Amino acid sequence: MNYIQPAHRIAGFKPYFFASLNQKINELKKKGVSIIRLDMGSPDLPPTDEIIDVLVENARDPHQHGYSAIGGTLHFRRACANYYLKRFNVELHPTREILALVGSKEGIFNLSQVILNPGDISIVPDPGYPAYRQGGKIAGADLYDMPLLPENGFLPDLNAIPDEVLEKARLLWLNYPNNPTGAVAPLSFFEKAVRFAHDHHLLIAHDAPYVDICFDGYVAPSILQIDGSRDVCVEFNSLSKTYNMAGWRVGMAVGNAEVIGYLNTYKSQMDSSQFNPILAASIHALSSDQEWIQDRNDIYLERRDIVVNGLRSCGFDVDAPDAAIYVWAQLPAGISDSTAFCDELLEETGVSLTPGIVYGKHGEGFIRVSLGTATPEVISAMDRIKSWMKKA
């Protein structure tokens, strides 16, 4: 008999989708199946040599191996402030309005813990990044699914949220450029969202890790560009996607000073910040010449077009996204089960995609394709999919 049981708040949780997928892929590899992964949003390209050199140089300094400042060094926070000023013309106070995170996912999860009480409502986009939902569940809050529909450009209809939900809601999640859909939001939408948050006494959490991966001349904004936003908004950003530093685990929370303070207090109980050389390299990433990012984005653009054209030729309904590293495609007519489709595709071709249902019930009938895989493999994956679907 097992006498040790999990806490009630996690008893019903299943393993993270990609953990289960990794196990399935490893089993197929043992059978000799050639796998091409277009599922996880992990950049395949490295950071610049200069960023890596700064890491190595600082790691060789014997004085850089002790604990670093919780919430990031002042130098790192100032680098974040300078980035926001140059990129968005937004002035932030380095210590009151900026907090370093061990990857933005940490802050996203922790925000629910410091804002929500049992019985509160967290309004989450559907489809949406699973961490918004799971963080709210563990906090004991109730969840309201806010549909993101193709006919509305995958923007939420805020006015459709029922009054009885808004009476209990304390947190509203937004994410543009969007994961998984690749949708973008104009400043006019953010203006509406900020007014909405003021009217209903909500905190908006805007997840913005893809603002610097844009195509075809599009430039993504920050919600903090809107007047009055810092009264009701906190924004999460990350070096993972912009600087190809996903495994380095460096992100930031910026915006409302009170919320930043709550996150800082919570963080101080659970971690001791990042390795100083990682923060030093991150400062260089934020502060150095940013022109190389456009060349990197051109690589993603080429992959985007390969995927979009390949899927369209197979009968998928898909738009070319203006930003982010994903293509969101509706399954061809006659196919509705995204999990079954992705399972069969993986087993019969070795190509791994993410079923849309992973991101919520409104994701069913779609698949997500990541652009974070070498271009020749992307081409090969599209060829495999086209050949497989012709036989079906």
CATH number, domain of 123, equals: 3.40.640.10
- Across 55-71, average pLDDT: 93
- Tell me which residue has tokens 């994956």: 381
Co-location of 61 and 118 in the same domain: yes
For 239-286, the pLDDT digits (tens) are 999 999 999 999 999 999 999 999 999 999 988 889 999 999 999 999
Confidence check: pLDDT of 9 > 90: no
Return d(Cα 353, Cα 125) in angstroms, integer: 21
- Across 38-45, average pLDDT: 92
The helix-helix angle for 292-313 and 375-391 (nearest 10°) equals 10
- Confidence bin at 392 (pLDDT 50/70/90): low
Q: Which of 287, 314, 329 is the last residue of a domain?
A: 287
Question: Which pLDDT does position 1 carry in this prediction?
Answer: 60
Co-location of 116 and 163 in the same domain: yes
Co-location of 161 and 304 in the same domain: no
Percent of the chain with pLDDT over 90: 86
Co-location of 167 and 256 in the same domain: yes
Instruction: Please indicate, yes or no, whether the overall pTM of this predicted structure exceeds 0.85.
Output: yes
User: How high does pLDDT run on average in the chain?
Assistant: 94
For 291-301, the pLDDT digits (tens) are 999 999 999 99
Kindly calculate the radius of gyration of the chain based on its CA atoms and give it in whole angstroms.
21
Q: Which of 287, 312, 327 is the last residue of a domain?
A: 287
Q: What is the domain range of residue 66?
A: 49-287
Confidence check: pLDDT of 13 > 80: no
For 178-229, the pLDDT digits (tens) are 999 999 999 999 999 999 999 999 999 999 999 999 999 999 999 999 999 9
Question: Which pLDDT does position 391 carry in this prediction?
Answer: 77
Co-location of 239 and 105 in the same domain: yes
Q: Are 45 and 302 in contact (CB under 8 A)?
A: no
Number of domains within the chain = 2
Q: Are 215 and 297 in contact (CB under 8 A)?
A: yes
| CATH number reported for the structural domain that contains residue 305 in this entry | 3.90.1150.10
For 342-367, the pLDDT digits (tens) are 999 999 999 999 999 999 999 999 99
In a domain, 59, yes or no: yes
Residue-wise over 265-295: b if at least 16 C-beta within 10 A, else e? eebeeeeebbbbbbbbbbbbbbeeeeeebee
For 307-338, the pLDDT digits (tens) are 999 999 999 999 999 999 999 999 999 899 99
End-to-end CA distance of the chain: 48
Question: Which pLDDT does position 329 carry in this prediction?
Answer: 97
Question: Which pLDDT does position 201 carry in this prediction?
Answer: 96
In a domain, 2, yes or no: no
